[in-house]
Amino acid sequence: MGKIFRIFNLCIAVVISTVAFGQYTNRAVLSGNSGGSPDKGIRLGKTNIATDSVGRFSHTINLHAPSFFNFSLGGKKIEIFLSPGDSLSADFKSKAIIFNGGGAPINNFLQEHKGLAKRNSRFLDTYNKQVFGLEFSDFKQKMDSLKTTEISSFDEFIEKHPKTSSTFIDRLKIDIDYRYRRYYLLYPLNYHRHHGYKEIANVTLDYHDRIMQGCSDKPELLSSANYIQCMNKYLDILSVGKYKLQNLQPALGKRINARYDAIINLQADQKIQDYFIGEHFNNHIWIYRVEALDYSYSKYEKDCKDTTIKKRIQNLYQIGIDRRKAAHEITLYRKIGAIELKAHIFYPENFDKSNKYPAHLFFHGGSWAFGMPEWSYDACKKAASEGRVSIAFDYRLRHLHSTGIRAPVSDVLTAIAWVRENATNFGIDPSKILAEGFSSGGHLALTAAMIKNPKEFGVDSEFSSKPNLLILGSTPYDVTFRDVYDIEYDPKQISPLDLVDDQLPPMLIFHGEEDTLVSFKEFQKFIEKMKTTDNEFVYRSFQNANHFYSGGSKEDPQIREGMKKKFLAEQGYGNK
């Protein structure tokens, strides 16, 4: 009996040990030091990781298969790879993240590999014209050379670590493959741009389709951000029809609807199709007014099979509707055929329309192609809090209405005249109309101040379309090379560099010195031309700042805000 009991206990011990061992090997431990700060905001995927008083942390993950994870500390985001049984330590104390422990070799290599990919990407950004302006055979040779640096580094690591997870190997191969497929997709677009929008790359009409052949039938590819980015660019290209071998940014076309149709017409696995239907709404709800999604919203219920994605689409569409509740009033200011353009109005606190308030008009950016008044809602609220009736405007967009730049110029001229015509209804002083615009919106506001005869632009109003004051940010001053598709007019008519005279309103102007969308040289040319006039203007450029002012110093936002406040007070538009 004792012997049987001992055998029974031994069996139980083996079972317990096996279970415990199984639980242990299905775990991965991530620990490390955040660099001394207990509040750096460490996250693994969507999970927050706590630190102690000196910034140390330890986190256990139940893991049944090797997996990639997004790992972030403050603003620094990286991708890491964990396998069951790993005990990985991450040290953030130096500039580079250093890994130790189990899984360290593969994660240190992953960071090195991503660093090499970034260097290659920066090279292509820096020498974009020299590379993408090449004839195709020379471009291909340069791409093969860059790709080889990444593949050779990867092969060398695998040779040294032959037991590397197949999950890791497969994902990195996919990442490299689709990063370079995307560069190939971009080639005709950039070639056209670098050759003055006049020459087309010597490639066949089915060039893009051949690059992406066999890319729509493997749902596992969705695990790669590079694959998703590449497919999104392919869908952008499909959406422009006959312009697909040309630079996409100026291309005309109702692209948002065409893009949805491109997703549906893909010979794709249903999971891939469902994913990009969801992304269609997820991406566009933030850059277009909600009406722009009406066409796809009427179709997604039939086209999408994933109930979770369907629910997310419904929620996103409702967000587009609900966010407009922030405006005090939304009213029609212009109708062109079936196109309705609206003004989104915010009134000051204790508004009394018998008073005469300055008007602060906002025109959003988006390359005259996308964007929405909602982008200006926070600025509108702030302006209203300072005693100005603030209004954000719709205008016609290239991607929605197949229009060139002249059409939104006409809309903005109409909007300013409409404000003056209805000044009494909105409690506005018609002699105090401030127009503020960012990027393409800045161009529209500035051009409105320069046009002598609005009637030539289809504006049928006896009221002035000229603003009394301007605030401009990251503004394009030369559109002669930007409005080049199917136009029947001289773009100099709407190009500020060609319209400067001595009769412009006072203006405050900002620009980033590292702006790659609107070059700093373009800004400098405008400033030099303004200096030859008697116009009143104040300007400031920001070192290391890009088009959206990122990359500059931490003090830059306060400097801009201080200059705005001073400018408005001096012009009589400050706090009431």
Among 102, 136, 167, the domain-final residue is: 102
565 within domain boundaries? yes
Same domain, 427 and 279: no
Locus of tokens 């029974």: 8
Locus of tokens 């179709």: 299
Give the pLDDT confidence score for residue 174 in this predicted structure: 96
Please compute the mean of the pLDDT values over residues 528-532 and round it to a whole number: 97
Please compute the mean of the pLDDT values over residues 172-176 and round it to a whole number: 96
For residue 73, the domain's CATH number is 2.60.40
Locus of tokens 């002012």: 549
Query: For 53-62, 136-145, 258-267, which range has the lowest pLDDT when averaged over its residues?
Result: 53-62
311 within domain boundaries? yes
107 within domain boundaries? no
pLDDT in tens, 332-344: 999 999 999 999 9
pLDDT in tens, 318-334: 999 999 999 999 999 99
What does the angle CA 32 – CA 35 – CA 40 come to, to the nearest 5 degrees? 90
> Which residues is 346 bridged to in the sheet?
390
Same domain, 309 and 333: no
Same domain, 356 and 500: yes
Same domain, 377 and 288: no
- Give the DSSP letter of residue 329: E
CB 398 within 8 A of CB 446: no
Among 295, 326, 357, the domain-final residue is: 326
Question: pLDDT category, 144, cuts 50, 70, 90?
Answer: very high
Give the pLDDT confidence score for residue 40 in this predicted structure: 59
Question: pLDDT category, 537, cuts 50, 70, 90?
Answer: very high
Question: pLDDT category, 6, cuts 50, 70, 90?
Answer: very low
> In percent, how much of the chain has pLDDT > 70?
93
Category of 525 on φ-ψ map: left (φ > 0), alpha (ψ -120 to 50) or beta: alpha
169 within domain boundaries? no
Please compute the mean of the pLDDT values over residues 336-360 and round it to a whole number: 95
What does the angle CA 353 – CA 357 – CA 360 come to, to the nearest 5 degrees? 120
437 within domain boundaries? yes
Return the H-helix or E-strand segment holding 441.
helix 440-450
- The residue segments making up the domain with residue 24 are 2-102
Same domain, 426 and 565: yes
Give the pLDDT confidence score for residue 94 in this predicted structure: 61
Among 326, 341, 360, the domain-final residue is: 326
Q: What distance in Å separates the CA atoms of residue 49 and residue 43, rounded to the nearest whole number?
A: 6
Buried b (16+ CB within 10 A) or exposed e, 253-269: bbbbbbbbebbbebebb
Same domain, 295 and 400: no
Same domain, 321 and 422: no
Same domain, 269 and 363: no
For residue 462, the domain's CATH number is 3.40.50.1820
Same domain, 278 and 369: no
Same domain, 315 and 372: no
47 within domain boundaries? yes
Same domain, 426 and 474: yes
How many domains are there within the chain?
A: 3
From residue 259, give the alpha-carbon distance in Å to each of 182, 241, 279: 17, 10, 11
pLDDT at 95 over 70: no
277 within domain boundaries? yes
Give the pLDDT confidence score for residue 25 in this predicted structure: 60
pLDDT at 53 over 90: no
Please compute the mean of the pLDDT values over residues 153-175 and round it to a whole number: 95
110 within domain boundaries? no
Please compute the mean of the pLDDT values over residues 391-397 and round it to a whole number: 97
Same domain, 14 and 94: yes
Higher pLDDT, 93 or 108: 108
